Amino acid sequence: MDCGEGAQGRFVKFGLGLNKDMLVLITHLHGDHVNGLLGLLQTMSMSQRIRTLTMVAPQALFDWLKVTMRVLHIGLSFQVLMVPVKPGVVFRGRDFRIRAARADHSIEAWSYVFEELPRPGVFDPKKALALGIPEGRKWSSLQRGRSVVVKGTKTLPGQVLGRPRSGRKIGYSGDTRPTKALAKFFARVDLLIFDSTFAARDADKAVERKHSTAVEAARVAKEAGARELVLTHFSARYRSTRQLLREAKGVFEETVAAKDGLVLEVPQRDAT
């Protein structure tokens, strides 16, 4: 989600892997969100990446990327699938989807929600054995939500599975002012990563520059019913994030401040 300067170095430092399936989501075309893209693509190519890389971004980014690569004679060892962003679902994976909505920034900008698709309920081995289903492939089929037939008798997944479980949701705002539309877009996300550029005392600058304060980010998280909020995109005017974190936690307690190398666990949801 966005690709600032030095992104390829972070990939290597944190062992993220350069040849795995991945999506690159770009929110807008300000330098601090895209300046690392060319370097990342070249590093992937030098690492002999062969898998197609999917990139979702404003169309203008693809225009810039094509021209720049042609002028600099950059060739890649893999294909880039360019998907122009639009409102609604912009990508569907086997067990997840990505949705996009317009953000409120000084140029065209977008926010994203990563949604894990609903998963089958917990498998009950005792019920399966009682129904005469031997352990093995048929258990796996039932766990994936598929019916099986044993000795002419059909068993439905619902007979051996608990209640379906909702998938997890992660929201990413990019640079934006807080809006009612975004609070609705991020409804019930498990993790919300939101623009928190300014402290409350600099709210006028947030309005002028189309960013958010930490307090405003917390209000969006609260209105959206998020489980956890991550503050990010801090102005360089602040020597630490302590004040911004304190202000946000006064509105929404389950808040942390982003930092390099931060790892957060997003727990599975309970049965619905």
The per-residue pLDDT for 144 is: 80
Give the pLDDT of residue 200: 97
The pLDDT score that the predictor gives to residue 186 is: 98
Residue 270 confidence class, pLDDT cut points 50, 70, 90: low
Q: Phi first, then psi: give them for residue 34, nearest 5 degrees.
A: -135, -10
Report the pLDDT averaged over residues 57-80.
94
The arithmetic mean of pLDDT across residues 216-243, rounded, is 97
69 — pLDDT class (breaks 50, 70, 90): very high
Strands (E) across the chain are located at 23-25, 53-57, 80-84, 88-92, 96-102, 110-116, 148-150, 153-155, 169-172, 191-195, 228-232, 255-257
Q: Read off the pTM.
A: 0.86
Q: Which range, 95-104, 121-130, 261-270, has the best average confidence (pLDDT)? A: 95-104
Burial of 39: CB neighbours in 10 Å, binned 0-12, 13-18, 19+: middle
- Continuous H helices in 5-102: 7-13, 31-34, 37-46, 59-71
Alpha-carbon span 72 to 69, nearest angstrom: 5
* Nearest Cα residue to 235 out of 262, 204, 208, 195: 195
Query: How large is the average pLDDT for residues 148-155?
Result: 90
Which pLDDT belongs to residue 118?
Answer: 84
Rounded to the nearest integer, the mean pLDDT of the chain is: 93
- Decide if domain 88-119+164-272 falls under CATH 3.60.15.10: yes
> Do residues 199 and 236 lie in contact, with contact meaning Cβ atoms separated by under 8 Å?
no
| Rounded Cα gap, residues 111 and 103, in angstroms | 6
Place of tokens 């006064």: 250
When pLDDT is averaged across residues 40-60 and rounded to a whole number, the result is 95
Active-site position among 21, 32, 63, 95: 32
- The pLDDT of residue 161 is above 50: yes
pLDDT reading at 148 higher than 70: yes
The answer to whether residue 269 scores a pLDDT higher than 80 is no
Count of C-beta atoms within a 10 Å radius of residue 83: 18
State mean pLDDT over 123-136: 90
Q: Where are the domains of the chain?
A: 1-85, 88-119+164-272, 125-159
Phi-psi region of 242 (alpha: psi -120 to 50; beta: other; left: phi over 0): alpha
Active site residue 32: yes
The predicted structure's pLDDT at residue 122: 85
